[in-house]
Amino acid sequence: MFPFSPIHAASARPSDSDLSVLFFNKSHSCISDLSHLATDPTALPEQASQLGLSDKNRAVLTTASDGNGHFILAQCPEQPSAHAYRQLGASIYYALKPTSFNEVAIIWPDLTVEKSLEKSDCMHICQGFYGAGYQFATHLSDKPEILVRELTHVVQQRQVLMRQFDYAEAIVLGQHVTKDLMHEPPNVLTPDNFAKRIQKMTSLGLQVDVMDEAQLKAENMHALLSVGQGSSQPSRLVTIRWCGHSADCADPLALVGKGVCFDSGGINIKLSQLTDMKYDMGGAASIVGAMHAMARLKVPTNVVGIVALVENMPGGNAYRPSDIIGSRAGKSIEVLNTDAEGRLILADAIDYACDLKPRAIVDLATLTGAVIVGLGHEYAGLFCNQDALTDNIKRAAKDGGEKLWQLPLDPAYDRMMDSTIADVSNLSAPGSGAGSITAAQFLQRFARDIPWAHIDIAGTAWISAHNGVHAKGATGYGVATLVELAKQY
């Protein structure tokens, strides 16, 4: 899967390596062992900037003209963050990619030196490095040729770092699962096909249960079924269990994902950005990718993932603007816009999650265009009804290297979703603004009194241009944060 040999470490640089990756920073605290080079460490910053190193690309390839052989100079960030280290890792990959060197050695700095790298920094560099090679080539007749290179991590603290590298590998593979699902076109990745792909993950020790439409009806999931009824593709709800703490999976962390395999808007058909709406299952895909990683890492936590899979289409049987529909929770919902479908399917999935008596529920959804207005494509929007859970999620996101920003919940926003003829409407009154918050308020009604958080990933689940870490397309956002969160429980 990676264009590299399986991850392995050695204490010395292999004699046949033809390219070395060297770390340095301006204060010389974070510096690889240069003893095999006739190079003055203090000259590295100057040399690197002459070769074109900038804040954008944190790594550059040297030529062999000085007799030192070939190496990539990788500059550690002056303002360290998980994100900056991921960017550094990706830059190393991009410097390496156009070359044809087969034997590569990454010479890690000595971690015991003060102000050198922390072990978690190395993990993030690794994540950026191994993640940057991702490509979705499933439907290409001429598959790109992949040069698989022999890569050795040269480290002194071998035991410690191998654990970090294995962790990075599990996260990256989980992100690849998410990205593969997201890039698959909607004529291939129907709700049923998505469910079948999840079922294949039982080999990792995950337990998977798929509900078909008859079972969804028996469960009174009328809101979810209403969204799917305009499509010829039947809806599904998939429950994925990782019982890492106890076989009964008691007191789990519940993760709920929006899985709209294609969001045309329904009868309120969208006028633009339709091709991006294959990505509207990004929340579900993140949860599947995260649980793939948790199973690989054998995280000692009980986790239940619930993904609601539908297609929102304007067929002859489609639900209409002005319909009043039921929900599993027993609340009636006036549908004022069929394009506000995510909250409807999540309402039933969250209510279903509540019955599992979870310690907390976290939902991920590409829910609103409004979150992009507020936060763009850098930060996801976080909403939470409990301070302790808020803190845990913020810490998990920081450790995972994913940016999110808390937005408020407030009962005052509920009035904007009032309906005079049903318990609630799915659209806030015209002109009320705060589209991401009112959507979150809608979801909160279905979370009962369980600690619950909602992460709106509409701006971060995919990007339309390279951002230094991820290529254009799906980013795998959420995988790293959810795995960090599961580790905390």
Two tokens, residue 431:
């002109």
Contacted entry of ligand BES, Zn ion, none for residue 351, CB cut-off 5 to 8 Å set by kind? none
* String marking each residue 248-287 x if it binds ligand BES according to CB under 6 A: ---------------x---------x------x-------
What is the CB neighbour count within 10 angstroms for residue 463? 18
342 binds Zn ion (CB under 5 A): yes
Q: Which stretch binds Zn ion (CB under 5 A): 64-72, 338-346, 428-436, 437-445?
A: 338-346
Q: Choose between 103 and 276: whose C-beta lies nearer to ligand BES.
A: 276
Q: Which of 25, 366, 392, 460 binds ligand BES (CB under 6 A)?
A: 366
260 binds Zn ion (CB under 5 A): yes
339 binds Zn ion (CB under 5 A): yes
Distance of closest approach, residue 339 Cβ to Zn ion, in angstroms? 4
Q: Which of 280, 348, 351, 456 binds Zn ion (CB under 5 A)?
A: 280
263 binds Zn ion (CB under 5 A): yes
* String marking each residue 333-352 x if it binds ligand BES according to CB under 6 A: ----x-xxxx----------
Binders of ligand BES among residues 454 to 473 (CB under 6 A) are: 458
Rg (CA), the chain: 24
* CA distances in angstroms from 63 to 31, 70, 138, listed in the order given: 20, 6, 35
Query: DSSP readout, 255-293?
Result: EEEEEEEEE--TTS--SS-GGGGGGGGHHHHHHHHHHHH
3-state secondary structure of 355: coil
Q: Which of 107, 297, 370, 397 binds ligand BES (CB under 6 A)?
A: 370
Q: Choose between 208 and 474: whose C-beta lies nearer to ligand BES.
A: 474
Two tokens, residue 407:
């937005």
* String marking each residue 82-111 x if it binds ligand BES according to CB under 6 A: ------------------------------
Contacted entry of Zn ion, ligand BES, none for residue 120, CB cut-off 5 to 8 Å set by kind? none
Q: Which of 368, 385, 444, 481 binds ligand BES (CB under 6 A)?
A: 368
22 binds ligand BES (CB under 6 A): no
The strands making up 333-334's β-sheet, listed across from edge to edge, are: 324-325, 333-334, 424-425
Q: Choose between 20 and 368: whose C-beta lies nearer to Zn ion.
A: 368
Specify whether 403 is catalytic. Answer: no
Q: Where are the alpha helices (DSSP H) in 51-190?
A: 82-96, 119-131, 158-183
Place of tokens 């992460």: 455
Contact 266, 318 (CB under 8 A): yes
456 binds Zn ion (CB under 5 A): no
Contact 201, 295 (CB under 8 A): yes
Q: Choose between 218 and 271: whose C-beta lies nearer to ligand BES.
A: 271
369 binds ligand BES (CB under 6 A): yes
427 binds ligand BES (CB under 6 A): yes
Long-range contacts of 70-73 (CB under 8 A, 24+ apart): 70/18, 70/19, 70/20, 70/99, 70/101, 71/19, 71/20, 71/21, 71/22, 71/37, 72/19, 72/20, 72/21, 72/22, 72/96, 73/22, 73/24, 73/44, 73/47, 73/48
Size of the site for ligand BES (CB under 6 A): 15
What is the CB neighbour count within 10 angstroms for residue 167? 21
Please tell me the distance from the alpha carbon of residue 286 to that of residue 482, in angstroms, as a whole number: 9
Q: Which residues have CB under 8 Å from 251's CB, separation 6+?
A: 302, 357, 358, 359
Specify whether 217 is catalytic. Answer: no
Catalytic residue among 270, 331, 359, 398, which?
Answer: 270
Binding footprint of Zn ion on the chain (CB under 5 A)? 260, 263, 280, 339, 341-342
Q: Which residues belong to the active site?
A: 270, 343
Interface residues toward ligand BES, by CB under 6 A: 263, 273, 280, 337, 339-342, 366, 368-370, 427, 435, 458
